[in-house]
Every structure is written in structure tokens, then in C-alpha cells.
Amino acid sequence: MNEPVTMPKVESKHDARWQRILDCVALRQPDRMPVAMYATFWFAKYGGISNKELMYDYDKTAAITERAVLEFEPDAIAPLFSSAALGRVLEATDFKQLQWPGHGVGDHQPYQYLDREYMKPEEFGALVRDPTAFYLNQYLPRVMGIFEGFDQFPALPGMFYLRAINGLRPLAQPALRESLKRVLAAAEEVDRYMTLGTQWNRRLMAQGFPLINGSNTGAPYDVLADYFRGAKGMMKDLFRNKDKLLEAIDVMRVNLTRMTIANAKAAAHPIVFIPIHWAPDAFMSKKQFEEFWWPSFRQMMLDMIQADLIPMPLWESDCTKRLEIIRDIPPGKCIYWFERTDLIKAHEVLGDVVALRGNLSPSMMTTGTPAEVDAAVRNLVDNVWNKGGKLILDTAFGIPDETPVENVRAMFDAARRYAG
């Protein structure tokens, strides 16, 4: 098992950098504009290895990600090792929701999500009634091969006294026994991967680089849409299964909130990264957004704030039309990272409520020149940072995989040149 995660003693550079992030969150002026670093497969390009090696070779990935942090000296970093080195745990669990190098895509390609219907519309009731049983018997066997025998896992509620003993019998069946063995073996790999991730985080913190988030989660609607019903299924549910959908979103919210708070506490870090997938302007009407998407996520953020956490949603794509709605949270408690939403506009609407993060465009980062990157940083400094915006500079959604190293250098250099 992992040893308990505690904040290590760190040198003052760490504290100064961490203070910049906390100042931004609290809407106070930090001593300079912080720059965050997040990337996954860009590290393969940076380190001169294949995407497959990045995902599988723990030692190389730890060294390359550490080298990049030391070279660019960001003010805060994502848990970079953990988000890149996923190959062995995906393989150990026989994970079905991604294709990754050697498993459906080539050695130099990134992993990609498989949008499928992992839960049928007629299963809403089962999910809501007994989520644990639904996970054990239906959901987990569909998303990880190691759980294939768990469709036989006994129903636990209703067991009592000697019936609880008799109820163990399915665990003796060959398919379930085999499955249990595979789960235990996979858990060992997961433990190894997470231990290495924790060690990497602590090593970087000790060298002065705070994590910008210690854990991550999803929004209730998004988790149900992406990982259960599939995009098409969920969009049909908005018409065909309205009430069941709302009920399931609420159950998802309760369980997600509980797990999110527990994970953040275990990571000993208040900031929780939340990639947001279904909020974009084009994905649903304002009415649908206000009915199906926003209330559960807002409540989840409020509960997280109540637990002294700092939600950091990454609003993917263009969410300009949502800005007035997502403004409705307590000021000084969140970081809103925007992917394609104009940060100048976001600052106008949200500048007195949240810290902002982002958002140099992927097309410019990958195909542009260092001079263009410099100009784009300057534009954000002039129009957001110098106008009082509490901006944590970053790319739109991590450094794009194909970005030339000189463009990354230009981003960090320009930040220091124009904003301290």
C-alpha cells in the first residue's frame, strides 16, 4: 500500500510559487503572473521517444517530465508523470474505453477515447437504485476486461445471518475467481503507478515546483454522458428520458462529490482539476444547459468549496454564452480554465469572481512561430493581466503534442518579459 501522502518540507521557491496561485484564486494581486505547465504526449516529442515509450517506460517518463519542468521553471505543474505514464495500468486492467499505442493506435499516436454506449437507456433505474451493484455486475465488466466475471458477483443487500454465508457461493465459481485474481494483479500495478506518481510529485515539490492540482474529477452530466450513455445516447435522453436522466445526474453528483473530496484529501492538495466536456455553446441550448447541466455542477462546486477545496474546471471549446450563468458561484474560490473562450471576454464577465487560466491556441502553438507566441502572450498580459485579471498563463488544454519546443520556450520567456 502507499504510505500516507503528506506535504513534504519544501524550499521557499515552492512557497513563493504556490502563493502566486493562491493569490490568484483569492483575487489578490500576486507578485507576477504565474505560468502553469500541463502536457501529455508533448513530452514524447520533447524527450525524443515514442508515445508508447512515454506511456510504458516509467523511468524515462519520470526523467523527461522532470527535465522539462527544470528547464522551463513553471510556477505550477500538473501531476505530469501520472497523466503520461498510463500504459501499464491500462494494460493491466484491460481497459476498454481508450485506444492507446499498441492497443488500437500506432506507437506515435496519442490515446483516444472510444465514445460508446456503456450503459443502456433501460438501465437508468438500476444505476439509481443500487449504484454499487450496477458498477459490479454491469458497468465495470464493460469498461475493464479484468471484471468480466463480476456479472456473477452476488447481490449484497438482502443478505443477513447465515444467508450472508450462503451468499458467498458465487465467489467460488471459476469465472469470478479468475476475475478476482486479475483484479488483484491489476491493483498491484495501479499501486506501483500511483506510488511512482506520488514520488514524482514530491520530488518536484521539493525542488520548488508546486502542483496546480492534486486530483481530478468530472461534472455529473459529463461523466454520465461520456463514460456511461455515450454522446448520442445522452443527447437522445434529453428528450426521451428527461426525468430518469435528472435523477441519475443527481445520484452521480452525490457519489462524485463524495469521491472527489476523499481523493483531494488523500492527495493533500486543495485544487481539483475538472475537464468539462458538455458545456460548450454549441452542445445544447441555454435552457437545456440551465436545466440539465449547470445545477448539479454548481452544487458540486459549492460542496467542494465547503470542504475547503478549489474547483478548477477546464471549460472546453467555446463557452462564451455560458459566462453569465457560470458566474453564479462565491467569489475567490475557483480557477476557471478556458480552452477556446476569449479570455478577454471571460475577464470582463468573471474577473471579479474567479481566477482565469489559459489559453494560447493549439493551432498557433503547433504551427506558429515564437514571435507569434510572444505576441499572443503579450495580448493576454495587456488585456487581462494588466487590467486586473488574475491570470494563470497556460496553453488552451495543455501543450499540444506537436508543439515545437521553441514555441514553449517563447511562452515562458514572454510571460517573464511582460508580466514579471
Partner 1 sequence: MNEQEDRLVHLLASMEEDEALTLAKRMLLEEKQDPLRVLELCREAMDIVGKKFEEGEYFLPELVLAGEMLEQIGAVAKPLIDTSATGARRHGRVLIGTVHGDLHDIGKNIVTFMLDINGFEVKDIGVDVPIKTFIQEIHDFKPQVVGLSGFLTLAFDSMKETIAAFDNEGIRSGFNVMIGGGQIDETVRAYTGADAFGVNAVEAVDLCRKWLGVAR
Residues contributing to the site for partner 1 (CB under 8 A)? 99, 105-106, 109-110, 112, 114-115, 231-232, 235-236, 238-240, 282-285, 288, 317, 361-364, 366-368, 400-402
Cα–Cα nearest to 376, from 408, 348, 420, 337: 408
Q: How far apart are CA 76 and CA 80, in angstroms?
A: 11
- Determine phi and psi for 184, rounding to 5 degrees: -65, -40
Cα–Cα nearest to 88, from 51, 43, 41, 56: 56
Cα dihedral sign for 271, 277, 282, 283?
negative
- For residues 156 and 133, the answer to whether their CB atoms sit within 8 Å is yes
- For 232-236, the CB contacts below 8 A with 24+ separation are 232/115, 232/117, 233/117, 233/119, 233/121, 234/278, 236/121
- Determine phi and psi for 155, rounding to 5 degrees: -70, 130
- Between 66 and 316, name the residue whose CB sits nearer to partner 1: 316
Least spacing, CB of residue 96 vs partner 1, in Å? 14
- Between 234 and 329, name the residue whose CB sits nearer to partner 1: 234
Q: How far apart are CA 224 and CA 231, in angstroms?
A: 9
Q: How far apart are CA 50 and CA 53, in angstroms?
A: 5
- Between 277 and 357, name the residue whose CB sits nearer to partner 1: 277
- Between 25 and 364, name the residue whose CB sits nearer to partner 1: 364
Least spacing, CB of residue 339 vs partner 1, in Å? 9
**Which residues lie below 8 Å from residue 262, measured CB to CB, with a gap of 6+?**
none
- Between 13 and 236, name the residue whose CB sits nearer to partner 1: 236
- Between 303 and 401, name the residue whose CB sits nearer to partner 1: 401
Least spacing, CB of residue 59 vs partner 1, in Å? 26
Least spacing, CB of residue 340 vs partner 1, in Å? 8
- Between 119 and 329, name the residue whose CB sits nearer to partner 1: 119
Least spacing, CB of residue 295 vs partner 1, in Å? 18
Least spacing, CB of residue 231 vs partner 1, in Å? 5
Q: How many CB atoms lie within 10 A of CB 1?
A: 5
**Which amino acid is residue 60, in one-letter code?**
K
- Between 22 and 105, name the residue whose CB sits nearer to partner 1: 105
Least spacing, CB of residue 105 vs partner 1, in Å? 8
Least spacing, CB of residue 104 vs partner 1, in Å? 8
54: Cα separation from own chain's centroid: 19
Least spacing, CB of residue 342 vs partner 1, in Å? 13
Least spacing, CB of residue 232 vs partner 1, in Å? 6
**Which residues lie below 8 Å from residue 303, measured CB to CB, with a gap of 6+?**
257, 261
- Determine phi and psi for 385, rounding to 5 degrees: -60, -50
- Determine phi and psi for 112, rounding to 5 degrees: -135, 140
User: How many residues can be counted in the chain?
Assistant: 420
- Between 153 and 397, name the residue whose CB sits nearer to partner 1: 397
- Between 68 and 329, name the residue whose CB sits nearer to partner 1: 68
